[in-house]
């Protein structure tokens, strides 16, 4: 293993459905459809992806469709959740915040969806003790306000039993035709219960919306690609961390190349920043690889990459005890592997 693979890592921005590896998708397909080659309606496309052919963006997003189809029953969803956590743990991720929007379908209500994910996370606490996992239930903007309220109702009811796991709320999904201000009352309900806010923010050029999000108060910024000028200054003054997802942004073409990624600008100007995967399954990457790309592209030393993990602990929605456990793991690694 190289330095980046061995380094204990912190992942703060990962969507459950986008984090299903090809192997997990393949296993899920077998579980749902058996070995019947004609079972899945998406067969031909699935095999194209499975065989590791290079993908365009459309094919990437096709993977989300498989993921939804293959996790529409509690046993499949539990399998998927566990597999994602195992993959992160095998990449030496010691702290993970997963995001997912509860989905209702024939096999499962939204309540069952969220409960299944939470129960799996709780179970994994004993079976994979090297990793601490939290959940940020997602509000999908494209689904509208009524559904957002329904999601928050569920989140608040389950929070009573799972307050150690549900630590915040994510706002994501295509923003087209939606207004952030419409979501403020529903997000406020979560905030009043001390849930942290991880908003996808500044993914598109809309400075007005970024202002509204800052006014409302976000604890971290998802991507923040197009934040400029006064709002950028505000983020720095208030030390709001940016979650930078290099490969995701390059593959989705919101940035032109790794070199042009806004991480560079943020890093150079001393912003709070961390590196995350977003959807490692869809974009065929790992957190180790993202850190290696970051180090190579922007010439960060191993010491600086280590420092990014220390910062990420600070930004995590974890308890003080959990933070000190994470710091101990990092310090042990430093003593063993990074002699000065
Ligand atoms: Zn995201």
Q: Where residue 61 falls among pLDDT bands split at 50, 70, 90? A: confident
Do residues 165 and 133 lie in contact, with contact meaning Cβ atoms separated by under 8 Å? Answer: yes
- How many angstroms is it from 157 CA to the middle of ligand 1? 25
CA-CA-CA-CA dihedral for 6, 11, 17, 21, to nearest 10: -10
Tokens of 299: 């010439």
Q: Where residue 252 falls among pLDDT bands split at 50, 70, 90? A: confident
- How many angstroms is it from 38 CA to the middle of ligand 1? 33
The per-residue pLDDT for 43 is 53
- How many angstroms is it from 242 CA to the middle of ligand 1? 12
The per-residue pLDDT for 338 is 86
Q: DSSP for 223-247?
A: E-TT--HHHHHHHHHTTPPEEE-HH
pLDDT at 48 over 80: no
Active-site choice (97, 147, 150, 203): 203
Tokens of 79: 């399998």
Q: Where residue 35 falls among pLDDT bands split at 50, 70, 90? A: confident
- How many angstroms is it from 244 CA to the middle of ligand 1? 10
Burial class (CB in 10 A: 0-12, 13-18, 19+), 158: buried
Q: Where residue 50 falls among pLDDT bands split at 50, 70, 90? A: low
pLDDT tens per residue, range 267-316: 999 999 999 999 999 888 999 999 999 999 999 999 999 999 999 999 99
- How many angstroms is it from 248 CA to the middle of ligand 1? 9
Q: Where residue 56 falls among pLDDT bands split at 50, 70, 90? A: low
Integer Cα distance of 148 and 196 in angstroms:
16
* pLDDT higher at 125 or 65: 125
pLDDT tens per residue, range 109-119: 999 999 999 99
Integer Cα distance of 203 and 253 in angstroms:
11
The per-residue pLDDT for 176 is 83
- How many angstroms is it from 117 CA to the middle of ligand 1? 18
pTM of the entire structure?
Answer: 0.95
pLDDT tens per residue, range 170-196: 999 888 889 999 999 999 999 999 999
- How many angstroms is it from 14 CA to the middle of ligand 1? 7
228 as an active site residue: the answer is no
- How many angstroms is it from 277 CA to the middle of ligand 1? 9
- How many angstroms is it from 201 CA to the middle of ligand 1? 10
Integer Cα distance of 201 and 198 in angstroms:
9
End-to-end CA gap in the chain: 20
Count of other CB atoms within 10 angstroms of residue 51? 8
Tokens of 94: 């010691």
């Amino acid at each position: 293993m190289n330095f980046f693979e061995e380094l204990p890592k912190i992942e703060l921005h990962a969507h459950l459905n986008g984090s299903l590896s090809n192997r997990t998708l393949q296993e899920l397909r077998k579980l749902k459809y058996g070995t019947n080659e004609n079972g899945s309606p998406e067969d031909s496309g699935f095999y194209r992806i499975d065989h590791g052919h290079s993908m365009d963006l459309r094919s990437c997003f096709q993977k989300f469709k498989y993921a939804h189809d293959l996790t529409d029953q509690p046993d499949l969803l539990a399998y998927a959740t566990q597999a994602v956590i195992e993959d992160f743990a095998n990449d030496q991720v010691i702290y993970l915040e997963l995001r997912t929007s509860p989905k209702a379908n024939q096999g499962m209500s939204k309540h069952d969806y969220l409960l299944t994910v939470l129960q799996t996370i709780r179970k994994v606490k004993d079976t994979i003790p090297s990793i601490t996992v939290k959940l940020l239930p997602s509000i999908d903007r494209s689904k509208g306000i009524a559904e957002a309220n329904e999601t928050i109702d569920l989140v608040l009811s389950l929070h009573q039993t799972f307050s150690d796991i549900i630590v915040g709320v994510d706002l994501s999904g295509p923003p087209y035709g939606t207004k952030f201000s419409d979501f403020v009352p529903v997000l406020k309900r979560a905030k009043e219960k001390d849930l942290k806010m991880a908003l996808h923010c500044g993914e598109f050029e809309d400075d007005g919306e970024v202002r509204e999000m800052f006014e409302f108060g976000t604890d971290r910024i998802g991507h923040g690609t197009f934040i400029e000028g006064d709002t950028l200054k505000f983020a720095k003054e208030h030390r709001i961390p940016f979650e930078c997802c290099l490969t995701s942004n390059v593959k989705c073409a919101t940035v032109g190349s790794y070199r042009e990624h806004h991480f560079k600008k943020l890093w150079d100007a001393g912003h709070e920043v961390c590196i995350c995967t977003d959807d490692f399954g869809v974009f065929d990457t790992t957190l180790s690889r993202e850190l290696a790309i970051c180090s190579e592209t922007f010439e960060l030393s191993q010491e600086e990459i280590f420092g990014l993990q220390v910062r990420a602990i600070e930004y995590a929605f974890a308890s003080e005890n959990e933070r000190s456990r994470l710091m101990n793991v990092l310090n042990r690694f430093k003593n063993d592997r990074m002699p000065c």
